């Protein structure tokens, strides 16, 4: 009979457990909408960081853009109440754990909960609720130029200003084969923007990059460097990139100008290809069809906003790597940008830097960025360059730039004509062309 009693009690326990399982599941897995309460004897500790909103909860990332041990837990109730968005820079307070709580926490990872919200992006929570949504802002073509020219000796930014001018709100691709000087070009662009446009918030996002290159970029660039090195899992690359672009969007919503330099779009697409669940539709090169949507969403965020604010994205795309996947990724992004700066391995091998392929580079609607006088001279220059090989074209431009102190002086030299009506540069180009032909 004892055995029967034990069996009966066991059955009833299992029935109760089955009945309560649904309730426990709701309690554990469902969204937590309750707000933590502050007691009188609580000691509050200030915290600050970037908000990362996930499916059923949110965290304030206190140590950068990646998850860390000191992150602060935020309930979905707080997110909805204050109208918080992913990428918001928030400040607030957490309750310092009591001694008995600290002993309980030692065995397991437990995050402190946000008990008070003070500011959102430097505004009060009430003001932050009234800001516009990024998707509802009207995008326009870039109309204000980001001049990169700084000193006469800095040739790379001067070449970019002439060949493919960058505007506020530009969506640009830096198309580069391996070892063509892509990283140096991006560093020089970043430093030129920091010098000429200090009002711009500069973000350099490095995905799947070498650790020493990250250190070099942090020391060389006067801006925010957000990195996920190649020894991290693909999911970390995607988390960093998504949170960085959401942070940029929040700044644009407040009317700010943001420049994001991404190195590289190809590696970010590869990371999404590894991290995303398989859709079953595979493109050539092993690229999952659904994996290209998130990087397109990242790149497509670049826009000039009507009424103030802009998000400029200059992303590098790898070509000639020998990988079919890289080729497919580049083809997908080829027509999405409105600026293309193409670097040449052939020029880099001959140690001609910057290794810019002038005839293949350019900006759409450049007439909105340049004055009429500049435009006429640059188009004349383009016609002359069009008849030359890429090596002769870049050497001609570099030679003239080194002789002049500024781009304005260079364009003035181009516009000057000899009494016979022939252009000095055209004569020089003819000489360069014949010299290269004889060399061949």
What is the model's pLDDT at position 110? 79
DSSP-derived 3-state class of residue 149: coil
Residue % of the chain over a pLDDT of 70: 83
294-308 average pLDDT score: 95
Listed by start position, the domains of the chain span 44-102+109-129, 139-420
Alpha-helical (H) ranges within 121-264 are 125-129, 155-163, 182-196, 211-220, 234-253
pLDDT tens digit string along 380-433? 999 999 989 999 999 999 999 999 999 999 999 988 853 334 555 666 566 555
165-194 average pLDDT score: 96
Q: Distance (Å, rounded) from C-alpha 274 to C-alpha 285?
A: 13
**CA proximity to 147, closest of 353, 371, 358:** 371
21: confidence class by pLDDT, cuts 50, 70, 90: very low
User: Quick check: 23 pLDDT over 50?
Assistant: no
What is the model's pLDDT at position 97? 79
pLDDT tens digit string along 41-61? 678 999 999 999 998 889 999
Least confident of 10-24, 152-166, 204-218, 254-268: 10-24
How would you class 404 by CB atoms within 10 Å of its CB: exposed for 0-12, middle for 13-18, buried for 19 or more? middle
Is the CB of residue 296 less than 8 Å from the CB of residue 349? no
With the CA atoms of 267, 271, 273 and 274 taken in that order, what torsion angle do they form, in degrees rounded to the nearest 10?
140
Q: Distance (Å, rounded) from C-alpha 74 to C-alpha 112?
A: 9
285: confidence class by pLDDT, cuts 50, 70, 90: confident
Is the CB of residue 157 less than 8 Å from the CB of residue 148? yes
24: confidence class by pLDDT, cuts 50, 70, 90: very low
Is the CB of residue 338 less than 8 Å from the CB of residue 300? no
Q: Distance (Å, rounded) from C-alpha 333 to C-alpha 320?
A: 15
Top-confidence residue, 118 or 17: 118
User: Quick check: 313 pLDDT over 90?
Assistant: yes
Top-confidence residue, 143 or 427: 143
346-358 average pLDDT score: 95
What is the model's pLDDT at position 8? 54
Give bridge partners of residue 112 from the DSSP assignment: 72
Question: Is the preceding peptide bond at 264 cis, omega within 30 degrees of 0?
Answer: yes
Homologous superfamily of the 44-102+109-129 domain (CATH): Nucleic acid-binding proteins (2.40.50.140)
What is the model's pLDDT at position 101? 61
CATH number of 139-420: 3.40.50.300
pLDDT tens digit string along 252-264? 999 999 999 999 8
What is the model's pLDDT at position 428? 58
pLDDT tens digit string along 206-216? 999 999 999 99
Q: Going along 58-147, which residue ranges are E strands? A: 58-61, 72-74, 89-95, 112-120, 139-140
Q: Which residue has the tokens 């430093």?
A: 191
Give the dihedral sign, CA 417/419/421/423: negative
pLDDT tens digit string along 55-91? 888 999 999 999 999 999 999 999 999 999 999 999 9
CA–chain centroid gap for 434, Å, is 44
Is the CB of residue 296 less than 8 Å from the CB of residue 241? no
Is the CB of residue 74 less than 8 Å from the CB of residue 57? yes
User: Quick check: 298 pLDDT over 90?
Assistant: yes
């Amino acid at each position: 009979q004892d055995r029967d009693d034990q069996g009966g009690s066991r059955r009833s326990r299992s029935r109760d457990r089955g009945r309560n399982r649904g309730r426990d599941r709701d309690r554990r897995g469902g969204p937590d909408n309750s707000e933590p309460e502050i007691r009188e004897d609580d000691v509050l500790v200030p915290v600050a960081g970037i908000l990362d909103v996930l499916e059923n909860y949110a965290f304030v990332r206190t140590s950068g853009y990646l998850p860390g041990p000191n992150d602060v837990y935020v309930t979905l109730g707080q997110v909805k109440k204050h109208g918080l968005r992913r990428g918001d820079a928030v400040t607030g307070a957490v309750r310092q754990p009591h001694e008995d709580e600290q002993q309980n926490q030692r065995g397991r990872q437990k995050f402190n909960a946000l008990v008070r919200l003070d500011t959102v992006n430097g505004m009060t929570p009430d003001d932050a609720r009234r800001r516009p949504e990024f998707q509802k802002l009207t995008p326009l073509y870039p109309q204000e130029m980001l001049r990169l020219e700084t000193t006469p000796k800095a040739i790379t930014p001067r070449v970019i200003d002439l060949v493919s001018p960058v505007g506020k709100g530009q969506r640009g691709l830096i198309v580069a084969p391996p070892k063509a000087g892509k990283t140096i070009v991006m560093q020089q662009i970043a430093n030129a923007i920091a010098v000429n446009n200090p009002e711009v918030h500069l973000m350099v996002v490095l995905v799947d990059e070498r650790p020493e290159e990250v250190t070099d970029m942090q020391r060389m660039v006067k801006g925010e460097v957000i990195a996920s090195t190649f020894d991290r899992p693909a999911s970390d690359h995607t988390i960093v990139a998504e949170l960085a672009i959401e942070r940029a969007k929040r700044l644009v919503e407040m009317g700010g100008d943001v420049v994001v330099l991404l190195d590289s779009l190809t590696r970010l697409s590869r990371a999404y290809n590894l991290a995303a669940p398989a859709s079953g539709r595979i493109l050539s090169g092993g690229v999952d069809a659904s994996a290209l949507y998130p990087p397109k969403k990242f790149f497509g965020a670049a826009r000039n906003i009507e009424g103030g604010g802009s998000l400029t994205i200059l992303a590098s795309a790898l070509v000639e790597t020998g990988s079919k996947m890289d080729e497919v990724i580049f083809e997908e992004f080829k027509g999405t940008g409105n600026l293309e700066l193409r670097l040449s391995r052939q020029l880099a091998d001959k140690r001609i830097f910057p290794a810019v392929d002038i005839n293949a580079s350019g900006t759409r609607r450049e007439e909105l960025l340049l004055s009429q006088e500049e435009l006429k001279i640059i188009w004349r220059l383009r016609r002359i360059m069009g008849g030359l090989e890429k090596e002769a074209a870049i050497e001609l431009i570099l030679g003239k730039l080194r002789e002049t102190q500024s781009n304005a002086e260079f364009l003035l030299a181009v516009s000057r004509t000899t009494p016979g009506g022939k252009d000095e540069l055209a004569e020089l180009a003819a000489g360069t062309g014949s010299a290269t032909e004889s060399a061949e």
